[in-house]
Amino acid sequence: MASAVADSNEPARPVRLPLAMAVCIFGAFLSLGVPYLGVPIAAGALAWLWYHGQRAATFSVAIVSGALTYVLEPAGPLYVTALLLIAGPLVATLIQHQSVATAVLVSAALMTLVWVGLLSGVAAVEGTSVNGYIQSVVQTITQPALDAIDGDTAESRDAREQIALIESAALRLWPAVVAITSFFMTLGAVLAVAISARASRVSVKSPPDLDRLDMSPHVVWGLIVGGGLLAADIFLGGWRNGVLGAVGENLLRVTQWVLFLQGVAVFAGLYKRAGFSRLSKALGYVLLGITEAFLPLVSLTGLVDMFVNVRKLPRDGVELKGTPPTDATDGPAEEDRPARY
């Protein structure tokens, strides 16, 4: 939902450049291990500088913060700097002049390209393909578990099969993992930038409240196309090493986690009606994520909500039964009309 933050004639708070730089550096280092948390932290600090007119300082802080990651990761400056520039100045500009959906799509696509470029570059240095590099990394991680398995009992054979399945899944689904990571990094960055904009009294397109988040029904095309590609792969007997099936499976995984957000929004509405505390809501969201990792129940809830409209949200400009009436001349209030993404 696009809701503007009211401008104010009051003077903005003085820019605390050292504090913003410290926060950005912390986020940059954190993004080496937990990018979906570190990148949004850095993005909030960069947006604070950006909205206070410190454009040169914003770029300088992003570049310096990314460069400092060389201390822990030699390749850090190559991709962390790019992620910070996307999540900070770019997102700050997009949510000022474009919709939140556009900001998320553009930023997630660019972040995905950064990750793919990084993997391609590292694979080239290693003298192998991206798949070969991913396979070597996964085998390095799983080798200690394989070494710990002794004998040739039924349990040991099952354990080896499970590890082999994990290795195969990682090799097939790494594009989806990259895209999903970029998607959640972008969501966090948009939220952090919107918070900085509100604190800076700058008018931007703000994300909707979670309980009123409503995805576009076009998301379902991901399921249709992904399922069709899997069916075609089976029909053609694994044409070209099952490339169609791999693309279809990755598309289904990405769509699943988009629908997961829709499902979380449904539960957020239920939590709000039940009057849950913030701590109870936080624990509930964690449980939803754990559940989804094993069974896609939350994403299925989101899929059902797209057609059944469990929360009874007004859609396509039509107010549903039970929705409070609005002024006929002004139309429904912007803050009461959920946007579809």
Q: What is the pLDDT of residue 336?
A: 47
Question: Is pLDDT of 330 > 50?
Answer: no
State the pLDDT confidence band at 208, using cuts at 50, 70 and 90: confident
State the pLDDT confidence band at 152, using cuts at 50, 70 and 90: confident
Question: Is pLDDT of 13 > 70?
Answer: no
State the pLDDT confidence band at 338, using cuts at 50, 70 and 90: low
Closest CA to 176 of 214, 226, 139, 240: 226
State the pLDDT confidence band at 267, using cuts at 50, 70 and 90: very high
State the pLDDT confidence band at 12, using cuts at 50, 70 and 90: very low
The two tokens of residue 226 are 């992904």
CATH T-level fold of 1-134+175-207: Arp2/3 complex 21 kDa subunit ARPC3 (1.10.1760)
- Please list the residue range(s) of the chain that carry CATH number 1.10.1760: 1-134+175-207
The two tokens of residue 262 are 């829709």
Q: What are phi and psi of 315, to 5 degrees?
A: -130, 145
Q: What are phi and psi of 340, to 5 degrees?
A: -105, 130
Question: Is pLDDT of 149 > 90?
Answer: no
Q: What is the pLDDT of residue 215?
A: 85
The 10s digit of each residue's pLDDT in 124-147 is 998 998 988 998 988 888 888 888
| Positive or negative torsion for Cα 138, 143, 148, 153 | positive
The 10s digit of each residue's pLDDT in 46-60 is 999 999 989 999 999
Closest CA to 70 of 28, 111, 112, 126: 28
Average pLDDT score over residue span 198-224: 87
Query: Cα separation of 69 and 74, whole Å?
Result: 7
Distances (CA, A) of 115 to 111, 185, 240: 6, 12, 25
The two tokens of residue 13 are 């708070």
Query: Cα separation of 227 and 236, whole Å?
Result: 14
Q: What is the pLDDT of residue 81?
A: 96
Query: Cα separation of 209 and 128, whole Å?
Result: 45
State the pLDDT confidence band at 9, using cuts at 50, 70 and 90: very low
